[in-house]
Amino acid sequence: MFEKENFRNRFLDYFEEFKKVVTTDDNEWVVKGFIDIYKNIYTISLDTKVISKIIELMLFPTVLKFASEYNYKVLPTKYQNYYPDMTFITENNEKIAVDLKSTYYKNKDTVNGFTLGSFTGYFRNRDSTKNILFPYNEYSAHYVLGVVYKRTEHDIDEYKKYTLDDLKSISSVANDFTFLLQEKYKLATDKPGSGNTKNIGSVKKIDELIKGKGPFSTRGIDVFDNYWMNYYTKDMALAIDSKPPYKNLEE
């Protein structure tokens, strides 16, 4: 049986390399914008989805280097709405899911939070291959690679066009990056993510995220699985003419 903590410790050892790829020595994001063939530079918006995708693309070559060093095979997701972002396969054919998530600080102690994947579909039907690379129950561990950053306090003119001569004067839209790697259940809270989504929400205190101290962390992954596999939103309960059996972990 593969020791998942061994995988985690190896991954953590690569965090300095990840940080060098993403940030300057001053912890500013190295990305300033998009460039076209005419060498015009267009600034990046503060859209978290855009920032997250760019970070994912930047980190992947280093992820491949990590995988090669430890003889892991890594399979990136082929589709945007598939889980997970990366599947690692060990030498003894164990599968480890790593989902890349990013969010921003709301203040020095709290972040906007992650959405940790669906609690319906493949999460409940664990032999299904719908929207997931391999059936959920084939994975020996489910990790979240989290990237937390501060949004710039400078005004960003998304409609302004720059040249290469302006490069050093362009403000980065993100800075002060923090990386974390924890099992999904340790970051989860007992509430869905933002809006009326069917996604698992995360804790929002930065200390709890870094240390993996969500409400399920002391109760274990079996309690986490049981809670979310049987969780119903109001709409889900109405569809079966029932009421949610519980709304929080205490109930």
Per-residue model confidence as pLDDT tens digits over 34-80 = 999 999 999 887 778 888 889 989 999 999 999 999 999 999 988 88
On the question of pLDDT at 127 being above 80, the answer is: yes
Structure tokens at 179: 């990386």
On the question of pLDDT at 1 being above 60, the answer is: no
CA dist 135 and 128 (Å) reads 5
pTM, two decimals, is 0.92
In this structure, what are the phi and psi dihedrals at residue 182, rounded to the nearest 5 degrees? -145, 155
Confidence of residue 2 (pLDDT cuts 50, 70, 90): low
Which sequence positions are flagged as catalytic? 85, 99, 101
Per-residue model confidence as pLDDT tens digits over 3-23 = 677 899 999 999 999 999 999
Name the amino acid, one letter, at 208.
E
